[in-house]
Amino acid sequence: MDKEELQKRMDAAIRLTAPGQPIRAALDMIIAGHLGALICVGDVEHVLAAGNDGFPLNISFTSNRLFELSKMDGAIVIDDDVTQILRANFHLNPDPSLATSETGMRHRTAARMSVLTDAIVLSVSARRAVVNVYVHGKSYQIQPVSEIMTTVNQLVSTLQTTRTQLDRKLLHLTGLELDDYVTLADITDIFSSFEILQQAKSELKFCIVKLGTQGKLVRMQLEQLAGEAIDSEYDLMIRDYARDSSEENARRIRAKFAKMTPQDLTNPQKVAEALGYDDLDEDSVMTPLGLRTLSQVSVVRDGVAERIVDEYGSLQDLMDDIRTNPERLVDIGVNNPTILADSLYRIKGKRS
């Protein structure tokens, strides 16, 4: 199983045990009752083949039933859809040669069962009052909501601060673009801020998964601070400055930026290399296509910005021509070239 597939399965397991889910309600009761438990969810055929004895139940799943059955020794086996409890007090016998770093008997068994089968295996420690989720040998410890919210508050604060700084930098960049005075150092600083925002966004998304039904408000905050609009602006800025301005290449560059270290993201030469250049220094003048700036003008409809940059080649060439030859803009789909000109000059800080 590759890393991406493993992460998808682990995310599914975390959702299964998040607040608001029936299994999470049972786990909370088990912890509150100072009990231990070993629970296998899914891949029933292989789970049953790895054990014996126990009580065949085949009863409908409820949180209370799972809690009560955890008072017995042995494992509890639940179907893939979490609709039925199939076995209780089931004795598991995974291959003891399967490697695991766990020390407790219950956790070792859970880890080995997760390697031996495709089941999601939950191990509740009565002594430590913690729940570990195992998927293919990988372990995740369920956190209390209060602990997750501490992380959430820190991430939201980071998002708010970074977004405020980024908006200010982008506004300044637009003025530099319209004056044709952007350097590699200017855009390096902004790309670095975009990536800080993306990293905090990624971590906050994972917190939302862990919060389950209690993550709705956090999800709304995330959308407000780092939603689709900022993602679109990031893509357009990359396309403005990359040697290859295609959408596909912009996705590749974003993937490169995501893998770069914080130090590399603040290094103009490293950023230039990711954009497709190998002969620039921090003072090199960068000429934008203008996609990002044009997207801020209301009269530029979807698709028209690309036709404008295809026609002019750069934002500065558009600025040089916009007053003297408005018919050229009409020909490529701009119905109100005067409004476009006024808008750009207003952004620039000048009056038409």
What count of residues does the chain have? Answer: 352
185 and 214: one domain?
A: yes
Half-sphere exposure of 71 (CA within 13 A, CB side): 8
Helix (H) or strand (E) holding 40: strand 37-41
Instruction: Give the range of the structural domain holding residue 100, as residue numbers without chain letter.
Output: 3-142
Domain CATH number, residue 137: 3.40.1700.10
* Mean of per-residue pLDDT scores for the chain: 90
In this model, does residue 57 exceed pLDDT 50?
A: yes
Same domain, 216 and 246: yes
For residue 266, which phi and psi values (nearest 5 degrees)? Answer: -100, 5
**Domain check: are 105 and 7 in the same one?**
yes
The two counts, helices (H) then strands (E), for the chain are: 17, 10
Q: Check whether residue 46 and residue 63 sit in a common domain.
A: yes
Going by C-alpha positions, the residue among 270, 276, 278 that lies closest to residue 185 is: 270
| The last residue of a domain, from among 268, 286, 304 | 286
CA angle 231, 236, 237 (to 5 degrees): 100
Considering the domain architecture, whether residues 181 and 88 belong to the same structural domain is answered as no
CB burial of 133-149 (b: ≥16 within 10 Å; e: otherwise) equals bbbbbbbbebbeeeebb
Based on the fold, state whether residues 117 and 204 are members of the same structural domain.
no
340 and 279 housed in the same domain? no
Cα–Cα distance for residue pair 26/200, rounded to 1 Å: 32
Q: Tokens representing 161? A: 């601060």
Query: 84 falls in which pLDDT band (50, 70, 90)?
Result: very high
Measured CA to CA in angstroms, residue 121 lies from 16, 76, 108, 178, 269 at distances of 11, 10, 11, 58, 47
Q: Same domain for 267 and 306?
A: no
Query: pLDDT, tens digit, for every residue of 264-294?
Result: 999 999 999 999 998 899 999 999 998 998 8
Domain count, the chain: 3
Whether residues 106 and 164 fall in one domain = no
Residues 138 and 249 in one domain: no
The arithmetic mean of pLDDT across residues 139-151, rounded, is 92
Q: Binning pLDDT at 50, 70 and 90, where does residue 351 land? A: very low
Among candidate residues 247, 266, 286, the one where a domain is terminated = 286
Among the candidates 87, 120, 142, a domain finishes at: 142
- 155 and 276 fall within a common domain: yes
Percentage of the chain beyond pLDDT 90 is: 64
200 shares its domain with 255: yes
pLDDT (tens digit per residue) in 229-247:
899 999 999 999 999 999 9
